[in-house]
C-alpha cells in the first residue's frame, strides 16, 4: 500500500509538472463541447453536499442582461471513476481531487485536449477544497470566460463576413460570420442582421461627439438609444420603433474594447407601439485619436427561445473591434 501511494504521488507530480511546463508542446486531441459548458469532476457524495451546491450556484448564476434568468454555464457532472477517454476532451474542466498531497488550486492549459482550461482543486476533505475554490473562483471564471470567447471567435472565423461597410463608414472591423447581412447603411449608421430560429440577431454601429455629456449614464444612455431607435430602427407597424424598456433596470460597467475606454450597458429593449422586446448590449467606446465615441450595440429578437448564447455571440463579436488600418 505504501509503495502504491508513493507511485501515485510521483505520477501526479510528474503529470502536473509536465503539463504546466510542456503542455504547449505535447500532442493532445482537439477539445469538444458546446459553447458555455463546464464539466465538473467530483465524487458523487460531494456533488450532493455543500461543496457541490456551492459549485452549482456559482457556475449557474444568471447570465446578466436577459429578460428571464438563464444559467451562465451548462454543467456536466462526472464522478472521477468515469472521468476517462472522451470525457477528458471537454474544453472547460473543474477537477476536485481529494488528497492530502499537493493541496491547493492549479489552473492548467491544454492538459488533456486543446484548447482546454482545467482547474485542479486538491484538498484533504470537502471543507479544504471548498476553501481553495472560494479563494480562486474569480480567477477561474475569468479563465473560462476567455476560453469560451476565443473558441467562439475561432468558430466564427471559419466563414468570415467580408463586407466592408463598417470599415468604409467608421474605419473599424469586427469578426462575424457571413450569415450576417447588411440591412441598412446610411450616414453615421450601419445595421447588420442574422436570421435565427424564430427571430434575428442584430448589430448596429454609429458615432457620437467626443465631448458628449455622459455624466448621468442612467439617464443619457437610454435617451441616446431611444433617439437612434426612432431615427433608424423601425418596428413592424407604422409609427413603431425600438426604445429602451424602462421597467428593466440596466447594468452599467466601465470596461475596455481594444484597449479603448468604454461604457458597457446591458438591458432590455422594446418597440414603441408594438409587441416586440428582447435583450441588448451597448458599448460606447471612447476613440480619442479620431475625436469621437464609437457606439456598437447588439440586440436579439427570439421569442420563446433561449437568448444566452445569442447574446454571448453578439458580445464576442463586439469584443473583436479593431481599427481597419
Are residue 167 and residue 114 in the same domain, yes or no?
no
Are residue 11 and residue 152 in the same domain, yes or no?
yes
Residue 229, phi then psi, degrees to nearest 5: -60, -40
Residue where a domain terminates, one of 156, 181, 213: 156
Are residue 130 and residue 193 in the same domain, yes or no?
no
pLDDT at 299: 98
**Domain total for the chain?**
2
Are residue 183 and residue 272 in the same domain, yes or no?
yes
Using DSSP's 3-state secondary structure scheme, residue 275 falls into: coil
Are residue 22 and residue 120 in the same domain, yes or no?
yes
Are residue 235 and residue 318 in the same domain, yes or no?
yes
Are residue 216 and residue 124 in the same domain, yes or no?
no
- H-helix or E-strand containing 311? helix 308-319
Q: Which residues contact 248 (CB under 8 A, 6 or more apart)?
A: 67, 267, 268
> How far is the C-alpha of 278 from the C-alpha of 77, rounded, in Å?
32
Report in angstroms the alpha-carbon separations of 310 from 126, 135, 170: 36, 31, 25
pLDDT at 241: 96
Residue 236: which CATH number? 3.40.1000.10
Are residue 113 and residue 244 in the same domain, yes or no?
no
Query: What are the tens digits of pLDDT across the range 254-289?
Result: 999 999 999 999 999 999 988 899 999 999 999 999
Residue where a domain terminates, one of 156, 173, 207: 156
Residue 69, phi then psi, degrees to nearest 5: -60, 130
pLDDT by residue, tens only, the chain of 325 residues: 433 443 344 344 434 444 444 444 567 899 999 999 999 999 999 999 999 999 999 999 999 999 999 999 999 999 999 999 999 999 999 999 999 989 999 999 999 999 999 999 999 999 999 999 999 999 999 999 999 999 999 999 999 999 999 999 999 999 999 999 999 999 999 999 999 988 999 999 999 999 999 889 999 999 999 999 999 999 989 999 999 998 888 999 999 999 999 999 999 999 998 889 999 999 999 999 999 999 999 999 999 899 999 999 999 999 999 999 7
Are residue 102 and residue 221 in the same domain, yes or no?
no
Residue where a domain terminates, one of 138, 156, 174: 156
Query: What are the tens digits of pLDDT across the range 12-34?
Result: 443 444 444 444 456 789 999 99
Find where cell 429578437 sits: 301
Q: Tell me the residue length of the chain.
A: 325
Residue spans of alpha helices (H) in 60-125: none
Are residue 185 and residue 314 in the same domain, yes or no?
yes
> How far is the C-alpha of 263 from the C-alpha of 227, rounded, in Å?
18
Domain containing 132 equals 2-156
Amino acid at each position: 500500500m505504501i509503495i502504491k501511494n508513493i507511485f501515485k504521488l510521483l505520477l501526479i507530480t510528474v503529470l502536473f509538472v509536465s503539463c504546466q511546463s510542456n503542455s504547449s508542446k505535447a500532442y493532445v486531441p482537439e477539445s469538444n463541447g458546446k459553447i458555455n459548458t463546464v464539466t465538473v469532476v467530483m465524487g458523487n457524495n460531494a456533488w450532493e453536499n455543500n461543496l457541490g451546491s456551492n459549485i452549482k450556484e456559482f457556475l449557474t448564476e444568471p447570465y446578466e442582461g436577459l429578460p428571464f434568468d438563464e444559467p451562465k454555464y451548462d454543467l456536466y457532472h462526472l464522478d472521477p471513476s468515469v472521468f476517462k477517454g472522451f470525457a477528458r476532451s471537454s474544453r472547460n474542466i473543474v477537477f476536485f481531487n481529494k488528497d492530502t498531497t499537493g493541496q491547493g488550486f492549479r489552473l492548467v492549459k491544454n492538459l488533456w485536449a486543446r484548447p482546454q482550461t482545467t482547474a485542479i482543486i486538491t484538498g484533504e476533505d470537502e471543507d479544504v477544497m471548498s476553501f481553495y475554490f472560494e479563494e480562486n473562483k474569480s480567477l477561474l471564471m475569468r479563465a473560462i470566460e476567455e476560453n469560451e470567447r476565443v473558441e467562439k471567435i475561432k468558430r466564427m472565423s471559419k466563414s468570415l463576413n467580408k463586407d466592408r461597410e463598417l470599415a468604409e463608414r467608421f474605419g473599424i472591423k469586427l469578426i462575424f460570420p457571413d450569415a450576417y447581412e447588411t440591412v441598412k447603411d446610411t450616414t453615421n449608421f450601419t445595421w447588420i442582421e442574422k436570421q435565427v430560429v424564430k427571430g434575428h440577431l442584430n448589430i448596429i454601429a454609429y458615432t457620437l461627439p467626443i465631448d458628449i455629456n455622459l455624466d448621468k449614464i442612467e439617464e443619457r444612455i437610454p435617451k441616446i438609444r431611444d433617439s437612434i431607435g426612432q431615427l433608424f430602427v423601425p418596428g413592424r407597424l407604422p409609427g413603431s420603433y425600438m426604445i429602451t424598456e424602462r421597467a428593466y433596470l440596466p447594468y452599467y460597467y466601465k470596461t475596455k474594447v481594444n484597449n479603448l475606454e468604454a461604457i458597457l450597458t446591458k438591458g432590455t429593449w422594446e418597440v414603441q407601439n408594438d409587441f416586440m422586446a428582447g435583450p441588448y448590449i451597448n458599448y460606447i467606446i471612447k476613440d480619442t485619436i479620431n475625436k469621437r465615441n464609437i457606439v456598437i450595440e447588439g440586440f436579439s429578437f427570439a421569442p420563446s427561445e433561449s437568448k444566452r448564447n445569442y447574446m454571448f455571440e453578439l458580445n464576442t463579436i463586439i469584443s473583436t473591434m479593431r481599427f481597419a488600418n
